[in-house]
């Protein structure tokens, strides 16, 4: 659209900015509200899946929906030794995690579709340090810090369970 006068260009510019501002707010507001509600308290009632790391059984909560993944293990005061949380993403990508509002020290396994651990990371409570997968993955398993090391589980180890069967 071509505008011939400065006044009409200014009015059109204001109108355009108003539409852009409205569109930005409309797209950001749901995320902001989801962020606020996602951090209200710990998630204790997510579905569970049994995983195995060799002879070791893992009872993992499954965080699959975006809000469940966003909240993760935030606000948890404790977690039994054989429990963890499995984050499931729609497709493989570089996954990065931090520990905002997370009270427990955790070890994280970035896991390929076939259950192979790509890399591990130890994460300190309530920090904003980013810990990322070294390759694209769909699964991330968080356990109490040291769980993998105590069981001598390293990158290349293969986990088993329903999510990894194809």
**Position with higher pLDDT, 147 vs 8:** 147
More confident residue, 78 or 36: 78
Question: What's the average model confidence in pLDDT over 126-142?
Answer: 97
- Give pLDDT, residue 12: 44
Q: Which of 75, 95, 80 is nearest to 140 (CA)?
A: 95
> pTM score, two decimals?
0.76
Q: What was the pLDDT predicted at 165? A: 86
CA atoms within 13 Å, Cβ hemisphere of 160? 6
What's the pLDDT tens digit per position in 1-12?
222 334 444 444
**Which pLDDT score, from 0 to 100, does residue 166 have?**
66
Report pLDDT for 51.
Answer: 98
Query: Residue 37: which residues within 8 A CB-CB, separation 6 or more?
Result: 67
- Please state, in angstroms and rounded to a whole number, the distance separating the CA atoms of residues 125 and 101: 8
Distance CA 35, CA 148 (A): 30
* Per-residue pLDDT reduced to its tens digit, 85-129: 999 999 999 999 999 999 999 999 999 999 999 999 999 999 999
d(CA 42, CA 58): 19
Q: pLDDT tens digits for 17-27?
A: 444 344 433 43
**Residue bearing the bigger pLDDT, 91 or 28:** 91
Q: Which residue has the higher pLDDT, 93 or 15?
A: 93
**Average predicted confidence (pLDDT) for the chain:** 83
Task: Report, as an integer, the average pLDDT of 129-141.
Answer: 98
Domain 48-164, second-level architecture: Sandwich (2.60)
């Amino acid at each position: 659209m071509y505008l011939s006068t400065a006044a009409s260009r200014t009015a059109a510019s204001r109108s355009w900015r108003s539409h852009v501002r409205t569109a930005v707010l409309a797209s950001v507001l749901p995320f902001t509200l989801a962020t606020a509600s996602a951090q209200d308290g710990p998630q204790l009632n997510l579905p569970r899946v049994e995983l195995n790391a060799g002879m070791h059984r893992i009872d993992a909560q499954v965080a699959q929906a975006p809000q469940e993944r966003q909240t993760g293990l935030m606000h948890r005061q404790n977690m039994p030794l054989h429990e963890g949380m499995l984050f499931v993403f729609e497709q493989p990508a570089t996954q990065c995690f931090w520990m905002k509002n997370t009270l427990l020290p955790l070890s994280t396994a970035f896991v390929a579709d076939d259950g192979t651990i790509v890399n591990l990371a130890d994460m300190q409570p309530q920090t904003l340090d980013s810990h990322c997968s070294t390759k694209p993955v769909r699964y991330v398993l968080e356990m109490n810090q040291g769980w993998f090391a105590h069981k001598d589980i390293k990158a290349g180890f293969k986990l088993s369970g329903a999510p990894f069967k194809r």
